[in-house]
Amino acid sequence: MKKYFFQSVFFILFITNLNAQNSDSLWVRENYYKVERMLPMRDGIQLFTAFYIPKDSSVKHPILFNRTPYTCSPYGTDKFNARIYETYWINYLKEGYIIAIQDVRGKFMSEGEYVDVRPFNPNKKGKEIDEASDTYDAIEWMTNNIPGNNKRVGVFGISYPGFYSTMAALSGHPALKAVSPQAPVTDWFQGDDFHHNGAFMLMDGFNFYSGFGQPRPKPTTAWTPGFRVPSQDNYDFYLKTGALKNFSKIMGDSIAFWKDMMNHPNYDAWWQARNARNFVTDIKPAVLVVGGLFDAEDCFGAWNLYKAIEEKSKNTDNRLVMGPWFHGGWGGRGDGSYLGNIRFGKKTSEFYQRHIEMPFFNFYLKLKGTVHDIAEATIFFSGENEWRRFNEWPSNKMENKNLFFGADGKLSFENKSTNNTYSEYISDPAHPVPYTEDIGLGRTREYMTDDQRFASRRPDVLTFSTDILTEDITLGGPVVADLMTAISTTDVDFVVKLIDVFPDEYKYDEAEYGKGNGTAYPMGGYQMLVRGEIMRGKFRNSFAVPEAFVPGKITEVKYTLPDIAHTFKKGHQLMIQIQSSWFPLTDRNPQKFVDIYKADDSDFQKATIKIYHDAVNASKIVLPVLKN
């Protein structure tokens, strides 16, 4: 009987949701029409753009512009993009916005040559182009040719479209009043998508570019399929494939950006020209940078683009929002109330859409309402599960506190170590530490909050913990790992993970959080990953000029993890894990000072890693503690 009851409830909810979608679809069709145009750029290339335009001509309407390499399909004026029926987009339609979606240069139905993260050219002359000039030319055409527009334009986009939003902010068009780069691709060597601190993010890079990177000789409406992995076990497939050069053989010669990545192993001028932070000066439109605390792709980009604009464009109205979201989780992909096994207790996506993003664009594009209620930085703190508002980020109430490792596996805010003590482990590339205990083909987004008990049980993972906390500790800002280490080889990676250990008796209150989506998992003793980050050891002093380790010599490896916003509650413990592989999330380091992109399978070797925690060589984690 219970089975049929739940089936009935599910059917009723499904029909109710379907009826709502049908109602919205009918409303859109009754109130909007679609046109498609090829917009001329200054060099003669034309870019395909779809417009959804209100039928109401009694008032002028603002334009909300999204530039994407992922297609503005479906193509045809009688075919509407399914996403505009979703709550996130339809709210803008009900506010009377003109929606413009454009295939960027060289993708799908637009003409021209596609270039990944095309560098910004601050000194363009004549018919020279970049993504900023394409945005300028598109806005110029739209404001002069789309009927009923009020000549006020906003640009937004998530992930790669977040990069194009940043480029739009650099266009300088006077009609562009507001820009929101969301999970923006910002620096593909130091922290976004395909590299973290110089380590190659193998799974994402290979899966993405085997399809996305395929050449497109002429405009098309079709996606290009990627490489079909002959396994459902990504750990097994990537391990058996071996060195990176073997993946290059699978890719072949046609994937231009893959070849570029393989030929630029260091942070050279080629990469630096593709770092958007280098160019964010004198930005005129208001900016709302948005990102997820648990974004597996572009967490780095959101935090650091905001900081770069604050530093280099001081007169810009620049704001930051970070919620407890996976990649794009605020943009109609769930309600933001949970991720994996972790519950946040609030529909955070709905709050953001209703109280931040919509008022932001309404104010600047419709001259409606106010932005006074939107803080400089609106940050959700997991653990306590509350939004906090700040006048700056990091907060001036942040105090860096050293957390020291101890010989007994303890973490302490006092350095209690004696001389010449260390912990050690052996890193074997033939048996790398997995990034998750799950078996699957794709990279999961839930790993960002996954239970780390599987890793703490491995002999090649060092684990240090505080005593049970007697009071809450709230961390807000960047975390710094400062390791004093000696290794037996000439290179190695370091992965540092900051973990919240739940009490043994902990379980979610179903009355508060509801059933499912985390409440069924055994949460007692859960080791929640709050932040993890890798550092390729040879880049410890310079990303541009790598240096070999001297075997056996004590050496400092110091690097910064992306910001966190988390409260470790009374009764919990704070844990740090250290390891030297995170597979197949990142590629394996041969643990030899070589060009890893050209390394052979025979180059991979074991390494013994010592982490010192004595009075002279005191390894520590620098925590951003928020004072009350």
Are 178 and 205 in the same domain? no
pLDDT of residue 517: 54
Tokens of 14: 């499904």
Q: What is the pLDDT of residues 542-558, one digit of tens each?
A: 999 999 999 999 999 99
The residue out of 223, 242, 265 marking a domain boundary is 265
Name which of 130-134, 185-189, 308-312, 407-411 the model is least confident about: 407-411
- The pLDDT-based confidence of 420 (bands split at 50, 70, 90) is confident
Give yes or no: residues 423 and 532 share one domain. Answer: yes
Residue with tokens 């020291």: 404
Question: Residue 23 — very low, low, confident or very high, per pLDDT cuts 50/70/90?
Answer: confident
Instruction: Classify residue 1 as exposed, middle or buried by CB count within 10 Å of its CB (0-12, 13-18, 19+).
Output: exposed
Distance (Å, whole) CA 575 – CA 498? 6
What are the CA-CA distances from residue 150 to residues 64, 144, 619 (Å)? Answer: 11, 10, 58
Query: How is 350-375 classified by DSSP, letter by letter?
Result: HHHIIIIIHHHHHHHHH--S-STTS-
Same domain, 165 and 209: no
Residues in the chain: 628
Handedness of CA 316, 312, 261, 171 (dihedral sign): positive
Give the model confidence (pLDDT) of 75-95 as tens digits: 999 999 998 888 889 999 999
C-alpha pair distances (Å), 168 with each of 153, 154, 165, 299, 540: 11, 9, 5, 20, 34
Residues 216 and 110 in one domain: no
**Percent of the chain scoring above 90 in pLDDT:** 90
For residue 93, what pLDDT is reported? 97
Least confident of 259-268, 442-451, 507-516: 507-516
Q: Is 384 a domain residue?
A: no
Q: Is residue 285 included in any domain, yes or no?
A: no
Same domain, 230 and 87: no
Q: Is the residue at 306 inside a domain?
A: no
Asked if residue 274 belongs to a domain, the reply is no
In a domain, 427, yes or no: yes
DSSP H helices, 78-121, are 87-94
Domain containing 474 — which CATH number? 2.60.120.260
Lowest average pLDDT, out of 9-23, 110-124, 215-229, goes to 9-23
Q: Looking at the structure, tell me whether residues 156 and 225 fall in a common domain.
A: no
Residue 206 backbone phi and psi in degrees, to 5: -70, -45
Residue 393 near residue 379 (C-beta atoms within 8 A) = yes
Name the residue range of residue 41's domain: 26-116+130-182
For residues 409 and 456, the answer to whether their CB atoms sit within 8 Å is no
492 and 433 within one domain? yes
Say how far apart CA 150 and CA 549 lie, in whole Å.
61
Both tokens of 10, joined, read: 């599910």
How does DSSP assign 241-302, residue by residue? H-SHHHHHHHH-S--HHHHHHHH--S--HHHHTT-GGGG--S--SEEEEEEETT-TTTHHHH
How many domains does the chain contain in total?
3
**How many Cβ atoms are within 10 Å of 272's Cβ, its own excluded?**
15
Return d(Cα 489, Cα 552) in angstroms, integer.
8
Q: Provide the pLDDT for residue 5.
A: 34
Mean pLDDT, all residues of the chain: 94
Given a cut of 70, is residue 273 above it in pLDDT?
Answer: yes
For residue 415, count other CB atoms closer than 10 A to its CB: 15
Tell me if 140 is assigned to some domain.
yes
Cα(27)–Cα(472) distance, integer angstroms: 49
Angle at 182 between CA 201 and CA 542, to 5 degrees: 40
Residue in 623, 622, 626 with CA at minimum distance from that of residue 386: 626
Question: What's the predicted TM-score (pTM) here?
Answer: 0.95
Give dist(CA 14, CA 64) in Å, integer: 31
Distance CA(269)–CA(361), nearest Å, equals: 36
d(CA 507, CA 518): 9
Residue-wise pLDDT tens digits, 55-64: 999 999 999 9
Tens digits of residue pLDDT in 445-463: 999 999 999 999 999 999 9
| Pair (165, 234) in one structural domain | no
Domain boundary among 217, 234, 265: 265
Give the percent of the chain with pLDDT over 70. Answer: 96
Looking at the fold, whether 569 and 446 belong to one and the same domain comes out as: yes
pLDDT higher than 80, residue 18:
no
Place 510 in a pLDDT band, splitting at 50, 70 and 90.
confident
With contact defined as beta carbons under 8 Å apart, do 582 and 532 qualify? yes
Query: In angstroms, rounded to a whole number, what is the distance separating the alpha carbons of residues 321 and 565?
Result: 12
CA angle 56, 60, 64 (to 5 degrees): 95
Query: Which of 265, 285, 319 lies at the terminal end of a domain, its last residue?
Result: 265
Cis amide linkage into residue 394, ω under 30° from 0: yes
Q: Check residue 11 and give its pLDDT.
A: 40
Give the count of beta carbons closer than 10 Å to the beta carbon of residue 273. Answer: 14
- The distance between the two most distant Cα atoms of the chain, rounded to a whole number of Å, is 79
Assigned domain for 67 exists: yes
Q: How far apart are CA 72 and CA 70, in angstroms?
A: 7
Give the pLDDT confidence of 281-336 residue by residue, as tens digits.
Answer: 999 999 999 999 999 999 999 999 999 999 999 999 999 999 999 999 999 888 99
- The CB density around residue 450, as the number of other CB atoms within 10 Å, is 23
Q: What pLDDT is recorded for position 436?
A: 97
User: Residue 516 — pLDDT band, cuts 50, 70, 90?
Assistant: low
The pLDDT of residue 267 is above 70: yes
Q: Is residue 412 part of a domain?
A: yes
Q: Are residues 477 and 575 in the same domain?
A: yes
Q: Which two tokens stand for residue 490?
A: 């000439």
Are 111 and 231 found together in one domain?
A: no
Q: Quick one: pLDDT band at residue 424, thresholds 50, 70, 90?
A: very high
Let me know: does 41 contact 127? Beta carbons within 8 Å. no
CA 363 to CA 173: how far, in whole Å? 18
Q: What is the pLDDT of residues 152-205, one digit of tens each?
A: 999 999 999 999 999 999 999 999 999 999 999 999 999 999 999 999 999 999
Same domain, 178 and 206: no
**What is the pLDDT confidence band of residue 559, given thresholds at 50, 70 and 90?**
very high
